[in-house]
Chain A
Amino acid sequence: MEALGLLLHGFAVLLTWKTLLLMMVGLVLGVFVGVLPGLGGPNGVAILLPLTFSMDPTSAIVMLSCIYWGALFGGAITSILFNIPGEAWSVATTFDGYPMAQQGKAAEALTAAFTSSFIGSLVAVMLITFLAPWISSFALKFGPPEFFAVYLLTFCSFVGLGREDKHKTVIAMALGLLLAGVGMDTVSGQLRMTFGSTDLLRGINFLVAVIGLFGISEILLTMEERLALRGHAASISLRTVLAVWKDLPKYWMTLFRSSVIGCWLGITPGGAIAASFMGYNLAKRFSKDQDSFGKGRIEGVFAPETAAHASGTAALLPMLALGIPGSGTAAILLGGLMVWGLNPGPLLFVEHKDFVWGLIASMYLGNVVGLVLVLSTVPIFASILRVPFAAVAPMIVVSCAIGAYAIQNAMFDVWLMLGFGVVGYVFKKIKIPLAPFTLALVLGSRAEDAFRQSMIISGGNMKVFWANGLVGTITTLAIVLLFWPLIDRLVASVSKSTPPAAKAEA
Chain B
Amino acid sequence: MKHVRNLITIAAAAAAIFASAPASAGWEPTKPVEIVVAAGAGGASDQMARMMQAAIQKNNLLKQPVVVSLKGGASGAEALMYMKSSDGDPNKVLIAYSLIYMLPLSAKLPFDWRELSPIAVIALDQFVLWDNVNGPKTVKEFIDAAKASSSPFKMGGTGSKREDHVLTVFMEKKTGAKFSYLPYKSGGEAATQLVGGHTESNVNNPSENLEVWRAGQVRPLCVFDKERISYTTKVTETQSWNDIPTCKEQGLDVQYLMLRGMFLPGKVTQEQQEFYVDLFSKLVQTPEYKEYMEKQALKPIFLTGKDMLQFLEEDGSLNKQLMTEAGFVAK
Are the CB atoms of A456 and B182 closer together than 8 Å? yes
Asked whether any CB of chain B lies closer than 8 Å to the CB of A19, the reply is no
Q: Give complex CA distance A449, B65 in Å.
A: 38
A190 CB, min distance to chain B CBs, angstroms: 6
Q: What number of B residues sit within 8 Å (CB to CB) of A?
A: 57
Asked whether any CB of chain A lies closer than 8 Å to the CB of B286, the reply is no
Contact digits for B291-311, partner A, Cβ 8 Å, 1 yes 0 no:
000000000000000000000
B217 CB, min distance to chain A CBs, angstroms: 7
B101 CB, min distance to chain A CBs, angstroms: 14
Q: Give complex CA distance A202, B217 in Å.
A: 34
| A139, A194, A345: residue with the most chain B Cβ atoms closer than 10 Å | A345
Are the CB atoms of B74 and A202 closer together than 8 Å? yes
Beta-carbon nearest neighbor of A348 in chain B: B211
The 8 Å CB contact of B212, one of A49, A185, A194, A345, is A345
Are the CB atoms of B73 and A183 closer together than 8 Å? yes
Give the contact stretch, choosing among A87-95, A215-223, A233-241, A319-327: A319-327
Q: Give complex CA distance A191, B78 in Å.
A: 12
Contacts of A191 in B (CB 8 A): 74, 77, 107-109
Give the contact stretch, choosing among A71-79, A141-149, A244-252, A365-373: A141-149
Q: Give complex CA distance A202, B73 in Å.
A: 4
The 8 Å CB contact of A189, one of B54, B81, B106, B184, is B106
Contacts of B20 in A (CB 8 A): none
Beta-carbon nearest neighbor of B81 in chain A: A198
Beta-carbon nearest neighbor of B76 in chain A: A184
Are the CB atoms of B57 and A189 closer together than 8 Å? no
Are the CB atoms of B41 and A334 closer together than 8 Å? yes
Are the CB atoms of A184 and B75 closer together than 8 Å? yes
Q: Say whether, besides A184-B107, A338-B50, A456 and B78 are in contact (CB < 8 Å).
A: no
Q: Which B160-188 residues sit within 8 Å CB-CB of chain A?
A: 160-162, 165, 180-185, 188
Beta-carbon nearest neighbor of A49 in chain B: B50
Are the CB atoms of A322 and B85 closer together than 8 Å? no
The 8 Å CB contact of A334, one of B42, B181, B191, B330, is B42
Q: What number of A residues sit within 8 Å (CB to CB) of B?
A: 50
A199 CB, min distance to chain B CBs, angstroms: 9
Q: Give complex CA distance A388, B192 in Å.
A: 53
The 8 Å CB contact of A449, one of B69, B108, B185, is B185
Contact digits for A250-282, partner B, Cβ 8 Å, 1 yes 0 no:
000000000000000000000000000000000
Are the CB atoms of A184 and B73 closer together than 8 Å? yes
The 8 Å CB contact of B160, one of A50, A186, A346, is A186
A182 CB, min distance to chain B CBs, angstroms: 10
Asked whether any CB of chain A lies closer than 8 Å to the CB of B58, the reply is yes
Asked whether any CB of chain B lies closer than 8 Å to the CB of A347, the reply is yes
Q: Say whether, besides A335-B46, A457-B180, A50 and B65 are in contact (CB < 8 Å).
A: yes
Contacts of B184 in A (CB 8 A): 186, 449, 453
Asked whether any CB of chain B lies closer than 8 Å to the CB of A201, the reply is yes
| B74, B154, B160: residue with the most chain A Cβ atoms closer than 10 Å | B74
Asked whether any CB of chain B lies closer than 8 Å to the CB of A409, the reply is yes
- Dominant secondary structure at the A interface: loop
Q: Say whether, besides A143-B193, A184-B74, A186-B183, A331 and B54 are in contact (CB < 8 Å).
A: no
Q: Give complex CA distance A186, B182 in Å.
A: 10
Are the CB atoms of A343 and B73 closer together than 8 Å? no
Q: Give complex CA distance A53, B66 in Å.
A: 12
Are the CB atoms of A144 and B215 closer together than 8 Å? no
Beta-carbon nearest neighbor of B73 in chain A: A202
Q: Give complex CA distance A468, B254 in Å.
A: 37
Contacts of B69 in A (CB 8 A): 409
Contact digits for B73-89, partner A, Cβ 8 Å, 1 yes 0 no:
11101100100010000
B62 CB, min distance to chain A CBs, angstroms: 13
Are the CB atoms of A198 and B85 closer together than 8 Å? yes
Asked whether any CB of chain A lies closer than 8 Å to the CB of B282, the reply is no
Contacts of A493 in B (CB 8 A): none
Beta-carbon nearest neighbor of A183 in chain B: B74
Contacts of B75 in A (CB 8 A): 184, 186, 189
Beta-carbon nearest neighbor of B106 in chain A: A189
B47 CB, min distance to chain A CBs, angstroms: 5
> Can you list 23 A-B pairs, Cβ within 8 angstroms, ordered by A?
A50-B53, A50-B66, A53-B54, A140-B196, A189-B107, A189-B162, A191-B74, A191-B108, A202-B73, A203-B74, A323-B191, A323-B211, A334-B41, A334-B42, A335-B41, A335-B46, A338-B47, A339-B51, A345-B215, A346-B215, A453-B184, A456-B180, A457-B154
Apart from A188-B160, A449-B184, 14 more pairs, CB < 8 Å: A141-B196, A142-B196, A189-B159, A189-B160, A190-B330, A191-B107, A194-B74, A201-B78, A323-B188, A335-B50, A408-B73, A409-B69, A453-B182, A453-B183
The residues of A with any CB-CB pair to B shorter than 8 Å are 46, 49-50, 53-54, 139-144, 183-191, 194, 198, 201-203, 322-325, 328, 331-332, 334-336, 338-339, 343-348, 408-409, 449, 453, 456-457, 459
